[in-house]
Amino acid sequence: MRDETPAVFVAPSGDDTGPGTFEHPFATLDRARDLAAPGTVVTLRGGTYRLTDTFRLTAEHSGVVYQAHGYGTAAQEEVVVSGGRPVTEWVADADGTHRAQAPGPAPRQLYVGEHRAERAAIALEHPLVRTPGGYTAEGTGPQSWHGDVEFVYRGAYPWSEARCPVARIAGDAKSTEITMADPAFDRATRLYHALISWDGPGAGETYGVDFPTFAENSPAFLTDGTFATHAGVLHYRPLPGEDPTDAVAPVLETLLHARGLSDAAFRGITFAEATWLHPGTPSGFLHYHGNAYYDGGGLHTVTFAEGQGQVTVPGASASIPGNVVFEDTARVALEGCRFTRLGAVAVEFRGTGADNAVLGSEITEVAGGGLVIGEGARRHRVEDNRIHRIGRDYRGSPAVLLSGTLDTAVAHNQVDNVPHAGVVVYEGRGTRVLHNLIHDTMQVLADGGGIYISGPQGGSPADGALVRGNVVRDTITPYNFGLYTDYGASWVTVRNNAVYRSDAPVVLEVSPPLEHVAFTGNVWDADPGDAPDGVELAHNTTLRPEAFDGHPKVAAIAAEAGIRPSTRPHPGSRTVPGRPTVQESGGDRAE
């Protein structure tokens, strides 16, 4: 039978004045979007599509599939939708540094071939004395720090890493005065003030801005494979044998923004090379928790129970935005896509969307968080994805963040190599975190976990959160928990998980206390202690660390955890947009 599905073709070498056929494709996604009727498959031929502006979709563009040519077959072509610009006309200095004019605003990231160039940085090991407007330092060393210098405050709170720009550096033969940019520095001084009494990092009265840990982004800090910016000029020190002529600087902040879209799919497409410029403004980046940061407004003091201490918190916070955004969308599926070399959160679902899905995709090399599903989302699915190497610049960012969602499923994913938490679940209802493989989390900051859940999660076991069948291992830094139920978490069932090689497998006593939280049938490598009121411990198994390998129950949990062997549609098959072929997770939904 002849396939009558309408088709539109696009290629980087195409022509928007042509018919958009296989032989004469369009050149741009905008042209294909404008002519694609519901039911159309827009096929992207291989190559890089460099966007000059955000690709925008609305309700009138619903019912369309965008996919790489040959998707799901061995002949699938590599399609990249990029917000970057090539960096050209490099000039080499005698010391090996290459200089070029930035192709847009001073970039916060630079990519050379497959290599992510790190921003040039030094550890601030010499003492700095805080002043009302910045710092003083003995000697003249900082006076050579020309460039768009930024101070990094790792562990401003144990779970936070802040960034404040330097406004001016001046001095004499004896000392240096470093003036920080406002309002960032003033806000940071007031925000990062704590009195901590518990036995953990940061105990005692602290001001997080007293001890900046790194200085970034001066040509004076360059080493091989790093870059810095100064007055709109890029400075790059290539790796041995590397040619910087294939360098790309991200320029666009948003690659794709879909609002009101429904019954659509994106298949086999790589979204790459977008940025986020806010941290370089005088407001800096005053991270608080997850993807949230303080951007002004009231501050509050939170006092913990039993004399544990107090911290200052924002009355309201902003969030790192997505480089790919779906707002109020329904039945939109991202299948077999890749999100990489991005400068904010890779993918964000925003607003009152329903039945959207991220399936069989990869999220990697991202400055901020991996995937965010926000307030009002209903019945979203995140399945069979690999999410790793995120939080490359904003270290408190989680791989997956759910906030205020209803009936969201995060299942059969692999999450690894992240600087803080793997999966974070804030207040919601009916969340299911099932059969994920989560390892090598908490690599940089403290006070988090492989899976972190806080706040009320429902009103009964039937509509509460279910955390089941996950393998959580190698939660690395001190003061963390493999499975972390925190800050008044309630109606959470934690069942049949394997948790090992963390500072502690779980935490039972937090402030506000846990309510209606049950840990049943789990396997872990340390006894969590007695259950307080509000917590049930039943039929859990504590093994010696060396006993995990080969233990039958651990092996059974591990066999079901992580990405399933085959998640893409069969080559040549057709699925209804937004109705992917990946199946639901057996009986987990009903529990």
Omega of the bond prior to 107 within 30 degrees of 0, cis?
Answer: no
pLDDT of residue 303: 81
Q: Phi/psi zone of residue 466: left (φ > 0), alpha (ψ -120 to 50 degrees), beta?
A: beta
Question: Above 90 in pLDDT, residue 335?
Answer: yes
Whether residue 177 is contained in a domain is answered as yes
Buried b or exposed e, range 415-438, using 16+ CB within 10 angstroms: bbbbbbbbbbbbbbbbbbbbbbbb
Residues 361 and 507 in one domain: yes
69, part of any domain = no
For residues 235 and 347, membership in a common domain is answered with: no
User: Residue 361: which domain range?
Assistant: 338-569
- Within a domain: 523: yes
* Within a domain: 457: yes
**Residue 235 and residue 356 in one domain:** no
Q: Which residue has the tokens 């411990």?
A: 537
For residue 340, the tally of other CB atoms under 10 A from its CB is 18
Q: Is there a single domain that holds both residue 516 and residue 369? A: yes
**590 pLDDT more than 50:** no
At 308, the pLDDT band (50, 70, 90 cuts) reads low
H or E element that contains 29: helix 29-35
**With pLDDT > 90 as the criterion, what percentage of the chain qualifies?**
87
Residues 230 and 350 in one domain: no
**Cα-Cα-Cα-Cα dihedral sign, residues 284, 289, 292, 298:** negative
Q: Are residues 421 and 560 in the same domain?
A: yes
Question: Do residues 467 and 345 share a domain?
Answer: yes
Both 111 and 222 in a single domain? yes
- Domain annotation covers residue 76: no
Nearest residue to 110 (alpha-carbon basis) of 256, 222, 206: 222
Residue 309's pLDDT is 77
Residue 73 inside a domain? The answer is no
**pLDDT tens for residues 348-385?**
999 999 999 999 999 999 999 999 999 999 999 999 99
Query: Span 246-273, mean pLDDT?
Result: 98
Residues 229 and 355 in one domain: no
Statement: residue 578 has pLDDT above 50: no
Structural domains counted in the chain: 2
Judge contact between 403 and 379, C-beta under 8 A. no
Q: Once rounded to an integer, what is the mean pLDDT over residues 311-330?
A: 96
565: domain CATH number is 2.160.20
What are the tens digits of pLDDT across the range 166-184? 999 999 999 999 999 999 9
Query: Residue 402 domain-assigned?
Result: yes
Residue 320 scores a pLDDT above 60 = yes
What percentage of the chain has pLDDT greater than the value 70? 93
pLDDT score of 576 more than 50: no
Mean pLDDT of 303-326: 87
Which pLDDT score, from 0 to 100, does residue 202 have? 54
- According to the model, what pLDDT value does residue 197 have? 60
Q: How far apart are CA 315 and CA 335, in angstroms?
A: 38
Residues 494 and 383 in one domain: yes
Is position 364 within any domain? yes
Mean pLDDT across 327-343: 98
Q: In what order do the strands lie in the sheet with 204-207?
A: 204-207, 193-196, 309-314, 299-303
Report yes or no: 502 and 545 within 8 Å, Cβ to Cβ.
no
How many CB atoms are closer than 10 A to CB 21?
A: 12
Given pLDDT bands bounded at 50, 70 and 90, which one contains residue 49? Answer: very high
Q: Which of 207, 239, 271 is the last residue of a domain?
A: 239
Domain boundary residue, one of 239, 259, 283: 239
Residue 483's nearest CA partner among 463, 457, 453 is 453
d(CA 338, CA 287): 27
Q: What is the pLDDT of residues 423-454, one digit of tens each?
A: 999 999 999 999 999 999 999 999 999 999 99
| pLDDT tens, position by position, 463-518 | 999 999 999 999 999 899 999 999 999 999 999 999 999 999 999 999 899 999 99
Q: Please name which of 63, 79, 61, 81 lies closest in space to residue 71, comparing C-alpha atoms.
A: 79
- 354 and 207 fall within a common domain: no
Q: How far apart are CA 61 and CA 220, in angstroms?
A: 50
Residues 511 and 364 in one domain: yes
